Amino acid sequence: MPPPLPTASPASITLERVTKRFPGGVVAVDKIDLIVEPGEFFSLLGPSGCGKTTTLRMIAGFEAADEGRVVVGGRDLTHVPVHHRDMGMVFQSYALFPHRTVAENVAFGLRMRGVARPEMAARVASALAQVKLEGYEARRPAELSGGQQQRVALARAIVIRPPVLLCDEPLGALDRKLRQAMQVELKELQRALGVTLVFVTHDQEEALAMSDRIGVMNSGRLEQVGAPADIYDRPRTRFVAEFIGEINLIEGRVHDGGFIAADGRVLPVSSEKGEGAAALALRPEKLRIVSSGAGVIDGVLSDASFLGDQVLYTVTLADGRRLLVKERNPGTGALRQNGSTLGVRWEPRDAVILRNA
Ligand SMILES: Nc1ncnc2c1ncn2[C@@H]1O[C@H](COP(=O)(O)OP(=O)(O)OP(=O)(O)O)[C@@H](O)[C@H]1O
Ligand SMILES: [Mg+2]
């Protein structure tokens, strides 16, 4: 008998010390602990090879965990095969059946579950409407644009009304404009369906824009889990600080509640406990350019890059180190002049101290 259709209510996902080793000694996923809440938009973010796809494949059941447990909606699925897990999955490559029509592609999961024809037709129509593809039922994948194929893949995943939707870089093949439009659509669709979504991406802007929470992965481990603003404003490790956005790191140490840079200068920070080697992390947009002598450090403006809405300045310090400073585009067409000596300052609360491990 085919498995019944899942219920539509979103499920939580719990990973307990989940580990995956591949032959050759690769530990692709290393004791990951994670709870994704029902209805949450959760992104796994990290560089190529950090274990994002492997983690997703273990949630889906395509890959068996070597250690740990995968619990979805309170059910231990660690040893449950993929076709009994009721998850919607969207891959980067879309993986559509090339010789079948859009409607047949979308109906696939329903046919597997033995859904009667009238209900199948109604559900396919509704899924295609949700991804704004009404009228495309009879086309084949080759007759669609990349963005449209992506929507078919999405419709195919949501048509079974899964409690969990897993997406592996689903927007990776789209150009920037379409990608941004699809980001908004996918987020709206996820909210409308109320489905729990685990979204894999290596694009930090995409993760920041779309997610309720982000898990930043590095070498098979979760380095930090938090809301986008937490991850961006309060990174806890150098890896997270450097992977997300641009950042200035100043090496030094914590001493007596303050921060002393390697050159002996005491820099403004909020009071910090403990002692020891650390780096001061400052986002370029948190730095202010002021007149020479009026800041914390003086330097020479060595580059101005126009970014459209902002201008990115490089300020070179006396010892050759560089600070990146972002300012809003003044709108007057006049950028600051290369070669001018100026000061840089910041608010103590905007300085993040990253302790050496
Ligand atoms: N079937 C496999 N056999 C052996 N090693 C594998 C296999 N699949 C993945 N790996 C290795 O496991 C590690 C994690 O791979 P994974 O595909 O999960 O990375 P990823 O974060 O999804 O990367 P990307 O952003 O490039 O897709 C990598 O070192 C990879 O080479
Ligand atoms: Mg991958």
Cβ atoms of residues 93 and 40 within 8 Å:
no
Query: What is the whole-number distance in angstroms between the Cα of residue 168 and the centre of ligand 1?
Result: 13
194 SS3 class: coil
* End-of-domain residue from the set 185, 204, 233: 233
Is residue 166 in some structural domain? yes
97 lines ligand 1 (CB under 6 A): no
Cα–Cα distance list, 128 to 6, 73, 117, 163 (Å): 19, 27, 16, 19
Is residue 47 in some structural domain? yes
User: 191 and 133, same structural domain?
Assistant: yes
CATH of the domain at 323: 2.40.50.140
For residue 22, which ligand has an atom nearest its CA?
1
22 lines ligand 1 (CB under 6 A): yes
User: 229 and 251, same structural domain?
Assistant: no
Our CA angle for 86, 215, 223, nearest 5°, is: 135
Task: Give strand pairing partners of 352.
Answer: 281
The whole-angstrom separation of Cα 314 and Cα 304 is 6
Terminal Cα distance for the chain, rounded:
54
Q: What mean pLDDT is predicted for residues 22-46? A: 96
Pocket probe mutation, ligand 1, options 53, 168, 204, 206, max atoms within 8 Å of Cβ: 53
The whole-angstrom separation of Cα 338 and Cα 305 is 11
User: 221 and 92, same structural domain?
Assistant: yes
Q: Give the closest residue (by CA) to ligand 1 atom 26.
A: 48
Is residue 239 in some structural domain? no
Query: What is the whole-number distance in angstroms between the Cα of residue 200 and the centre of ligand 2?
Result: 7
Query: What is the whole-number distance in angstroms between the Cα of residue 289 and the centre of ligand 2?
Result: 40
Q: Give the closest residue (by CA) to ligand 1 atom 7.
A: 22
* End-of-domain residue from the set 207, 233, 259: 233
pLDDT > 70 fraction of the chain, expressed in percent and rounded: 98
| Paired tokens of 45 | 């973010």
Query: What is the tally of structural domains in the chain?
Result: 2
Cα–Cα distance list, 46 to 53, 108, 147, 224 (Å): 10, 32, 24, 11
Q: What is the pLDDT of residue 230?
A: 96
Q: Which residue has the higher pLDDT, 14 or 93?
A: 14
Query: What is the whole-number distance in angstroms between the Cα of residue 240 and the centre of ligand 2?
Result: 19
Q: What is the pLDDT of residue 85?
A: 87
20 lines ligand 1 (CB under 6 A): no
Q: Could you tell me the residue range of the domain that residue 334 belongs to?
A: 246-355
52 lines ligand 1 (CB under 6 A): yes
Instruction: Give the ligand 1 atom nearest the CA of 55.
Output: 18
Q: Give the closest residue (by CA) to ligand 1 atom 8.
A: 54
Query: What is the whole-number distance in angstroms between the Cα of residue 343 and the centre of ligand 2?
Result: 43
The whole-angstrom separation of Cα 332 and Cα 317 is 27
202 lines ligand 1 (CB under 6 A): yes
161 SS3 class: coil
Q: What is the pLDDT of residue 285?
A: 97
53 lines ligand 1 (CB under 6 A): yes
Task: Give strand pairing partners of 300.
Answer: 316, 341
pLDDT in tens, 49-67: 999 999 999 999 999 999 9
User: 259 and 205, same structural domain?
Assistant: no
pLDDT in tens, 137-192: 999 999 998 889 989 999 999 999 899 999 999 888 778 888 888 899 899 999 98
Query: What is the whole-number distance in angstroms between the Cα of residue 345 and the centre of ligand 1?
Result: 42
215 lines ligand 1 (CB under 6 A): no
Cβ atoms of residues 106 and 136 within 8 Å:
no
* End-of-domain residue from the set 233, 266, 293: 233
pLDDT in tens, 295-313: 999 999 999 999 999 999 9
48 lines ligand 1 (CB under 6 A): yes
User: 338 and 266, same structural domain?
Assistant: yes
User: 256 and 218, same structural domain?
Assistant: no
Query: What is the whole-number distance in angstroms between the Cα of residue 81 and the centre of ligand 1?
Result: 21
pLDDT at 9 over 70: yes
User: Could you give the residue ranges of the DSSP H alpha helices within the chain?
Assistant: 52-60, 102-112, 117-130, 146-158, 176-193, 204-210, 228-233, 238-243
The whole-angstrom separation of Cα 171 and Cα 81 is 27
pLDDT at 2 over 60: no
User: 113 and 59, same structural domain?
Assistant: yes
28 lines ligand 1 (CB under 6 A): yes
Query: What is the whole-number distance in angstroms between the Cα of residue 29 and the centre of ligand 1?
Result: 9
The whole-angstrom separation of Cα 355 and Cα 221 is 18
Instruction: Give the ligand 1 atom nearest the CA of 44.
Output: 21
